[in-house]
Structure 1
Amino acid sequence: MPLLTVFTPAYNRAHTIGRTYESLLKQSNKDFIWLIVDDGSSDNTQELVKEWMSKDNGFEIRYIHKENGGMHTAHNVAYEHIDTLLNVCIDSDDCLAEDGINKILNKWEEVKDLGYAGIIGLDADLEGNIIGKGFPEGLKETTLSGYYANGGAGDKKLVYRTDIINKYPPYPVFEGEKYVSTAYKYRLIDQEYKLAVLDDVLCNVEYQSDGSTATMWKQYVKNPRGFVFWRKVCMRYPTSTKRLIIDTIHYCAESQLAGNKHYIKESTKKLLTVVCVLPGFILKRICLKKSEL
């Protein structure tokens, strides 16, 4: 049994998932499993994957098709089916970095007995430019939220122990909505575990024009209850006073978008929530306007 599962949530990414596949074929170490969770694609993703599964790739490919429910539900399904010690998500429009499998497994061999939840590495664009900021020189361990609280920026690649990721509740599902931040589980893990720092690129990414990052204003409006859930987690485990205020303003705005009249009573930071009602209303109006663009 390999130590690592690379899992890929996919929704109508037949035009990009091929390069994900090619990046896995190019790995010098093929001791991993590739799990694709197809989130109800209506394109030819399934046909592509079935074709790849019929080939001798040097690694096992597993494929699960599910009803469309959003990225977080694809993560839930992936975690239910992963049976390796470690897992890493490589999105269907991204590439595992050159020699990425060896980088992960070699680092894990170094730190496997030190109690870490996993490994945190770097993302770069397709030209190799680091996304956001790198790691401070000499940093050996961190939490994800701690990295950002200390001035870090940009998406990072996370490799988690499967037993630890499954120690925490699955992402909730809100009827009619299709977005909950996958950082929910990561924030909970941060309260108990640290990550070993791997100062190397593990993934090359390309942000799509129809991806969640590019359409976030619309996501706020379409999935307010999912965002309210996430803001509550952030308010419970704040990374800084500034971030707490920002998250509380978002909590107010998204609660208003959800039509929840009891959000002050339900808040874990009631006084701050009262102060943020008006800024939240302004943010709500901005969300509605931006979502129409």
Structure 2
Amino acid sequence: MKTLTVFTPAYNRGYIIHKCYESLCRQTSKDFVWLVVDDGSTDNTAQLIKEWQKQDNGFEIKYIYKENGGMHTAHNTAYENIDTELNVCIDSDDYMPDDAVEIILDEWKKYRENEKYGGMVALDVDSKNFNVIGTELDETIKNFNLDYYYNHGGLGDKKLIYRTDVIKKYPQYPVFEGEKYVSLAYKYRLIGKDYFLGVINKPVCVVEYQENGSSMNMYRQYLNNPKGFAFIRKINMQYIDDKKRNFIDCIHYVSSSIISKNKSFVKESPKKLMTVLAVPFGLLLTVIIRIKAKKLMKVK
């Protein structure tokens, strides 16, 4: 059995997923499986993957097709079908440096015997000039935790590599009818309360943000997936011990609740008084979101 599963959720990315595939072909270590979870693509994604499966790439390619449900449901499907010791998500518009798998597996030797470690965290770099996204990791932090890192000045996306047995211990991402977005931070936040992450202060993923990607269309995401956003705001209020951050989450929670027409949002909030105080700001944020989303629609 291989040690690592590289899994890639894909939705109509046939025009660019070859970059991910080609980077896997170049890996200096082939101790991995590539799992592609096709989230209802209507382009040539399936044909590409099936053609690559016929080639001698030095690694196994698994392909699963599912109805379109959003990134978080693709992660649910991936975790149900991964049986390797470790797993890492590389998005369909991203790719790995040639030695990324080798780096991951070498670094894991430092932590694998310690049950307190649920995985590792590594760097992302951008595809234009290969600069580190955000800040580098602080290797002096003992018992590394993502919330601690971000609450003490850490910035930017990071690549997370998890033990498969650990990530399967926690609930799946919830699915809200008519919505297709729930923050992936949900599982990461739960895991972070019980496990530490080993630090790899090296890049293992090259990131290219797409104009049709979720991170580039957040205002429309707020409008289209308010229940999903309200859900993660409640999780943040419960798990993040920072009053300023809690109040910001309350504001967003109020806004998402207004958009979803949930009249019971104060009753359902983990921080009821703070939520009441956030109502005026939540109303203002809702207005801003609607204006921004409308402008994005006009640009399209």
Query: Which TM class, normalised by the smaller chain length?
Result: over 0.9
Alignment partner, residue 271 of structure 2? 269
After TM superposition, list the pairs within 5 Å mapping 1:1-293 onto structure 2: 1-115=1-115, 116-126=117-127, 127-136=129-138, 138-139=140-141, 141-293=143-295
**Aligned amino acid, residue 125 of structure 2:** A
Determine if contact 2:20/2:92 at 8 Å carries over to the other structure. yes
Q: Normalised by the size of structure 2, how large is the TM-score?
A: 0.96
Q: Distance in 1 between matches of 2:224 and 2:101?
A: 37
Q: Distance in 2 between matches of 1:102 and 1:239?
A: 36
Deviation at 1:160, TM superposition (A): 0.1
Q: 1:24 to 1:141 in 2, by over 3 A?
A: farther
SS in 2 for 1:201: strand
Instruction: Give the percent of matched residue pairs that are identical in Structure 1 and Structure 2.
Output: 56
Deviation at 1:256, TM superposition (A): 0.4
**Aligned amino acid, residue 29 of structure 1:** S
Q: Distance in 1 between matches of 2:250 and 2:40?
A: 34
Q: Distance in 2 between matches of 1:280 and 1:23?
A: 44
SS in 2 for 1:213: helix
**Aligned amino acid, residue 157 of structure 1:** K
For these two proteins, the number of residue pairs brought into alignment is 293
Q: Distance in 1 between matches of 2:202 and 2:86?
A: 18
SS in 1 for 2:110: helix
Determine if contact 2:159/2:205 at 8 Å carries over to the other structure. yes
Q: Deviations over 1:138-181 (max 9, x none)?
A: 34541121211111000000000011111110000001000000
What stretches of structure 1 move > 2 A for 4+ residues in a row? 136-141
Which consecutive unaligned segments of at least 5 residues does structure 2 have?
296-300
SS in 1 for 2:215: coil
Q: Deviations over 1:220-272 (max 9, x none)?
A: 00000000110010011124221111101000000000000110111110000
Q: Deviations over 1:10-32 (max 9, x none)?
A: 00001110000011001011110
**Aligned amino acid, residue 81 of structure 1:** N
Alignment partner, residue 298 of structure 2? none
Q: Distance in 1 between matches of 2:267 and 2:65?
A: 40
Q: 1:47 to 1:156 in 2, by over 3 A?
A: same
SS in 1 for 2:216: coil
**Aligned amino acid, residue 204 of structure 2:** L
**Aligned amino acid, residue 20 of structure 1:** C
Q: Distance in 2 between matches of 1:97 and 1:241?
A: 39
Deviates more, 1:3-12 or 1:142-151: 142-151
Q: Distance in 2 between matches of 1:241 and 1:271?
A: 13
Q: Distance in 2 between matches of 1:267 and 1:58?
A: 50
Q: Deviations over 1:195-223 (max 9, x none)?
A: 00011001000000110100000000000
Q: Distance in 2 between matches of 1:136 and 1:239?
A: 21
Q: Normalised by the size of structure 1, how large is the TM-score?
A: 0.98
Q: Distance in 1 between matches of 2:139 and 2:88?
A: 24
**Aligned amino acid, residue 189 of structure 1:** I
Determine if contact 2:139/2:201 at 8 Å carries over to the other structure. no
**Aligned amino acid, residue 114 of structure 1:** N
Deviation at 1:137, TM superposition (A): 5.0
Determine if contact 1:139/1:197 at 8 Å carries over to the other structure. no
